[in-house]
Amino acid sequence: MKIIVTGSAGFIGSHIAAKYRALGHDVIDIDLRAKKARNICDEEAMRRLFLREKPDIVSHHAGVIEVVKSIENPRATFEANVLGTINLLQAAGKAGTVKRFIFPSSYTVYGEPAKLPVDETTAIAPISPYGLSKVMAEEAIRFYGKLYGFAHMIFRYPNIYGPGQDGNGAVGAIAIFAERMRQGKAPVIFGDGSKTRDYVHIDDIVRLNALALRAKASGTFCIGTAREVSDERVFAEVKKHMEFPETPTYMAHRYGEVRNISVSGKEAEAALGFKPRISFETGVRNYLRGTRKGTA
């Protein structure tokens, strides 16, 4: 199959593109950081690209992924995450060859849910422009999928971690904590350490996206372990493997960040046969091997 992968230079997209190539598929890379002709925000360039390449599947992982950045500059977030997605959807429809559109949404669409773990029936109530941009992109995918007759698979991701994640970036607590410890600096925890997330290893996400190529299902699926892991727990686990002697630095909770979340994956297991296999403890241990020496 011919597959367009957007965000192919990013943490998640690069792993997925590599897997698709390993499976023998013809992969076309697009990334927001690339030259204009390969930028999803360029509507005409996307139209020409789709008409020329005639892809079978779109795996759309490009976009702005930072909650705090979305609050500081919401316009850039909506341009990339909403308008960029619509550009791809329109191009896919005009090409007439796309059979499936795969999209990573986020637990942030739920805001501060009253009950955990969240699932596909939990009320949508984002508290950041980033979360809202995911809601809007989801609706656009459903609309254009119905209009042009292609299936869609929307995955509401939890926190994803693993090899290749940028420890100097603004997202990814495990990678950021490990990088600061490697440099001999105390990691920063925003809030009192009780904030929780659901963590899934990148290898499991890659396996999910491989299953999505041929799955008969079409719809929206929550992805997660239904387990809450606190920032304090993350710090303790990373500290253990990094042999870091100090305590974290605490700063104020950042507006727009969800305080507590865990995600049920029961529907994905029933419809796709997917369930995360790598436990948090095993995933962190394997990921951090060699990080203390700067080799991860």
Three-state secondary structure string covering the chain: CEEEEECCCCHHHHHHHHHHHHCCCEEEEECCCCCHHHCCCCHHHHHHHHHHHCCCEEEECCCCCCHHHHHHCHHHHHHHHHHHHHHHHHHHHHHCCCCEEEEEEEHHHHCCCCCCCECCCCCCCCCCHHHHHHHHHHHHHHHHHHHHCCEEEEEEECEEECCCCCCCCCCCHHHHHHHHHHCCCCCEEECCCCCEECEEEHHHHHHHHHHCCCCCCCEEEECCCCCCEEHHHHHHHHHHHHCCCCCCEEECCCCCCCCCCCECCHHHHHHHCCCCCCCHHHHHHHHHCCHHHCCC
Identified catalytic residue from 20, 107, 130, 144: 130
Tokens 């239904």 identify what position? 226
By C-alpha distance, which of 64, 84, 187 is closest to 129?
Answer: 64
Residue 144 is a catalytic residue: no
Q: Please give the positions annotated as active site.
A: 130
